[in-house]
Structure 1
Amino acid sequence: MTLHILLQEYWPHLVFLVTVSASAAAAVHAAMTKNDVRAAISWVGVVIMSPLFGPFLYLIAGINRIRRDQISQQRDKSLKEYARLPVPKALDIASHSAPQFESLSILGDKVSHHPLRNGNHIVLLQGGDETYPAMIQAIDEATKSIALQTYIFDHDSEGQKIVDALTRAQERGVEIRVLIDSIGSKYSRPPIIKLLRKRGIRTALFMTNPLGMRMPYANLRSHRKILVVDGRIGFTGGMNIRAEFVTAVAGEKTCGDTHFKVEGPIVLQLISVFAQDWEFTTKEMLPYDTWCCETWDPPQPHAPARCIRSGPDRFIENTHNMLLGAFAVAQKHIRVQSPYFLPDATLLGAINTAARRGITVDIVIPGSNNLRLVNYAMTAQLDQVIRNNCRVWSARGNFNHSKLITIDGAWSYVGSSNLDPRSLRLNFELDIEIYSHDTARTIEQLIDAEIRNSDRITPESLAAMPFRKRLRNRIIWLASPYL
């Protein structure tokens, strides 16, 4: 019997054998490699219930191809290069923030590879109207090096201004490296990476071509936002580079966001994170003397701060652990502003426990969200915090992308992380913790202003929604780990 006749006669049996084998292999892999039981059960269920599509989906979105041993070795090598400064003496946390945060700083020592350092000057920037001009000014004053990392870098009027500033810097002989996430680079057409490369600016895409296929990693993304100029001035926070955050362009539809300009020792931590991601992507190690600075003279006031990086590698639990610790030591007030509030059961338990201890918990979410499915899932979960006396506020007005947490007017956690499954487990994120009354007070005022322009969500308002919408929200909520 020839192979052609054999295939004609038995192709249904062969297809059945291949699908069963693929499903079994994918299910076994998920069960053996997923540390989160919910993720393991979800993927096994998808594979078994959809024997044709399930294994393919798992191959693309379910496998963490970031080999922990490989990336860890690269980062250890870079960390040694970027850790020349001596470890600082223990700080008096109580004098900078509040006594209850002394234990949190110890947790940070265990969670982060970066030490808590004093002498940082931190300035909050609101929206593109303040952030982009400050970034361009820093770029125009650069004399040695510029490192820029972002998730979205749109090819629009504001993106063009950043490219023009980088071009001017390059013409002055400044060393420049730009790292854009491969998924985020596709938010505008044509992608701005073509323009950057046309200008001769060294640019790379983070996470491309898995297994030799011409496609980006479908489920692992760099969500970090970093700009470091001459190793002295840094910018980080939640802002991408998009014209929709600029009033002169977007007008009445301008979206809100928050970013931070930092000066001081924490800038060395920012460039360290960038250098490690750049090396992982391009295999190029950036020389310390070109990209770093060891002396700073930032203006007053100063604040202790450090970077907390997280991602689907050995740092996967970092933000999760920091927030669990922070909610546990809160004594008066927790304020959270997040565009995508979908914490897992453990974080929900920590937030609810704080509220049951008598801590005032305010959670601000956008009334108008840019991700409809996430908004549905988020709404389906709100009753779990509201019934435990947390106050949830739906902000009126345009979408606000800010990610801000402050506790007891003394400690703040800001950066790129959302409180959703993607940020907590799949994205490469970067946040900073700040022990400062001044910074916390500024963030509190920002969040309280949002609350004054918000409608409170109550059990009654949730129950008043039509049943079909509540059912829709719960169905979408079931898929929240994949949003």
Structure 2
Amino acid sequence: MNIISTIFGIVIFLNSILAIFTVFREKERDIAAIWAWLLVIIMLPGFGYIIYMFLGRKISKEKIFNIRSQERIGMEELVESQKELIESENLDVPESNYQDKTFELIQLFLNGNESVLTKGNKVKLIHDGKDKFNQLLDDISKAKDHIHVTYYIFRGDDIGTKLVKALEERAKQGVEVNVLYDPVGARVLGKHFFDTLRKYGGQAEPFFGSRFFLINLRLNYRNHRKIVVIDGKIGYTGGFNVGDDYLGLYEKMGYWRDTHLRIEGNGVKALQTRFLMDWNASAKKETIEYDNHYFPFTGLIGDTDMQIVSSGPDNEMHAIKKGFIKMISMAKESVYIQTPYFIPDEALIETLKIAIMSGIDVKLMIPNKPDHPFIYRATLSYASELVDYGAEVYIYDNGFLHSKTIVIDEEIVSVGTANFDIRSFKLNFEVNAFLYDRQLAKEQVKLYKKDITVSYLLTEEIINNYSKWELFKQQFSRLFSPIL
């Protein structure tokens, strides 16, 4: 027994030393993430290293350079088109139409993310999966020049098959079709799922890593973006992926409540630029060069001014997170947030607390069921903390809430792919639309209040009645929140 105890002690000691060496050798890692990974590796000797190998290693400098080096295709032309639009429509320069807080947010994205303010877009809020896919399939059927598609999750079920067949039909008619999918999110697709599309001249490529996710040593860095661009004139982005569950057809999850945008106007050009950059960072053979037909000029066709903002592990600016912090800090009356995962970092949780203590009406809505139990426990822990400070936290009770939105003062609204969690802010490749349109913001608030009618309030009584085991699971999950 003494020999076994000695050997065990030596193994634990060596494992701890190696854990410290392994984690600390990764430079520029967040201190909270360092402690979380140390905890994983020390608590799970051997197996912890396997988890770290797939989920913990940072992107190599070479890969970061490859992603960053992609030319911002069409960005100069987008800037010029906005200048022409301002002159042709006899408009003032964009910033002169905005005062105080809105102008500050616009400047933040312009300086930190090179996100151009585009004016006069026509934007539709979509909150039902059937409506989203019916509209999308109709738009695809009318495509004349090109269709560019990015989704994180892409299933080969009924809706996935229907979408690919629609793309095949357009490719067969000579329309350029390019599909970019995440190798982890699309891991269930058959090997030959896109063969017919390729046969008709379309292309499909995995983003950033091997299609065989079990040998992909960068599993932690996922392309969580959802982008569709049709003929450079119509764009989609938001929370819906491709799968029957997003139509509410999975009994376990029930009705799927999400939020997506259909965009017409010059804002589509920014989505196009984002897609082309991602494509060129991933394509093994054929990259895409700038061409006018990808960026058709569009005048004022609606009332929404907007910025498309992207973030990812290739950029330390964390622009979407900074945008959320700025929105919350400049709110005067209300902050309404919907998110399936609520795992804020220290800066965000403190910003929310300050808003609450300043008398701002802060509301948070999260799901009533987990699709990732570990993450959900951490979400409940952080949500309970906000309740302690006086926020209203609602538990959506009509299926599964996957909507990723924030609206302040019924003036500015953000809809996109980023959850309100550390993973979305630092590890995933994300894209959000920030919309400067009071009417659209009021519409989102109306939808939010409608969702409240099928939700229940997380009260102090509910929190106080959590069992000790439930509280332990929440606190234990929260320990790992920096790497969830």
Q: Could you say whether these structures have the same fold, taking a TM-score greater than 0.5 normalized by the shorter chain as the test?
A: yes
Task: Please point out which of 22, 28, 34 is paired with 1:33.
Answer: 28
Determine the structure 2 residue equivalent to 1:5.
none
Q: Is 1:65 matched with 2:59?
A: yes
Determine the structure 1 residue equivalent to 2:79.
86
Secondary structure of the corresponding residue to residue 465 of structure 1: coil
| TM-score, normalisation: structure 1 | 0.88
Inter-partner Cα distance in structure 1 for 2:272 and 2:259:
20
Q: How does 1:151-230 map to 2 (within 5 A)?
A: 151-187=152-188, 192-193=193-194, 196-197=197-198, 201-209=202-210, 214-215=215-216, 217-230=218-231
Determine the structure 2 residue equivalent to 1:440.
441
Inter-partner Cα distance in structure 1 for 2:211 and 2:218:
6
Partner amino acid, structure 2, of 1:27: V
Quote the offset at 1:431 in angstroms: 0.5
Q: How does 1:100-139 map to 2 (within 5 A)?
A: 100-139=101-140
Determine the structure 2 residue equivalent to 1:308.
309
Contact 1:238 1:257 in 2 (8 A): yes
Secondary structure of the corresponding residue to residue 27 of structure 1: helix
Deviations 1:231-260 (A, max 9, x none): 111000111011123268879933121110
Quote the offset at 1:212 in angstroms: 12
Secondary structure of the corresponding residue to residue 363 of structure 1: strand
Determine the structure 2 residue equivalent to 1:423.
424
Inter-partner Cα distance in structure 1 for 2:194 and 2:402:
24
Quote the offset at 1:281 in angstroms: 0.8
Quote the offset at 1:113 in angstroms: 1.6
Quote the offset at 1:121 in angstroms: 1.1
Structure 2 unmatched ranges of 5 or more:
1-6, 84-91
Assess, with a 3 A threshold, how the Cα gap between structure 1 residues 458 and 315 changes in structure 2: closer, same or farther: same
Quote the offset at 1:403 in angstroms: 0.7
Inter-partner Cα distance in structure 2 for 1:460 and 1:17:
44
Q: How does 1:231-242 map to 2 (within 5 A)?
A: 231-242=232-243
Q: Percent identity?
A: 27
Say which is worse superposed, 365-374 or 40-49, in terms of deviation.
40-49
Assess, with a 3 A threshold, how the Cα gap between structure 1 residues 181 and 120 changes in structure 2: closer, same or farther: same
Q: How does 1:258-407 map to 2 (within 5 A)?
A: 258-283=259-284, 284-289=286-291, 292-297=294-299, 299-300=301-302, 302-315=303-316, 317-407=318-408
Partner amino acid, structure 2, of 1:376: R
Inter-partner Cα distance in structure 2 for 1:376 and 1:66:
32
Inter-partner Cα distance in structure 1 for 2:213 and 2:172:
36
Determine the structure 2 residue equivalent to 1:52.
46
Contact 1:393 1:451 in 2 (8 A): yes
Assess, with a 3 A threshold, how the Cα gap between structure 1 residues 118 and 165 changes in structure 2: closer, same or farther: same
Quote the offset at 1:193 in angstroms: 4.3
Inter-partner Cα distance in structure 2 for 1:180 and 1:314:
21
Partner amino acid, structure 2, of 1:52: G
Assess, with a 3 A threshold, how the Cα gap between structure 1 residues 195 and 298 changes in structure 2: closer, same or farther: farther
Say which is worse superposed, 98-107 or 322-331, in terms of deviation.
98-107
Partner amino acid, structure 1, of 2:124: V
| TM-score, normalisation: structure 2 | 0.88
Assess, with a 3 A threshold, how the Cα gap between structure 1 residues 19 and 335 changes in structure 2: closer, same or farther: closer
Contact 1:185 1:193 in 2 (8 A): no
Q: For the aligned residues, what is the CA RMSD? A: 3.1
Inter-partner Cα distance in structure 1 for 2:79 and 2:96:
23
Assess, with a 3 A threshold, how the Cα gap between structure 1 residues 439 and 60 changes in structure 2: closer, same or farther: same
Structure 1 unmatched ranges of 5 or more:
1-10
Secondary structure of the corresponding residue to residue 274 of structure 1: helix
Inter-partner Cα distance in structure 1 for 2:270 and 2:94:
21
Inter-partner Cα distance in structure 2 for 1:40 and 1:402:
30
Quote the offset at 1:262 in angstroms: 0.5
Contact 1:178 1:203 in 2 (8 A): yes
Task: Please point out which of 37, 43, 54 is paired with 2:37.
Answer: 43
Inter-partner Cα distance in structure 2 for 1:55 and 1:239:
34
Secondary structure of the corresponding residue to residue 187 of structure 2: helix
Say which is worse superposed, 37-46 or 322-331, in terms of deviation.
37-46
Q: Is 1:410 matched with 2:411?
A: yes
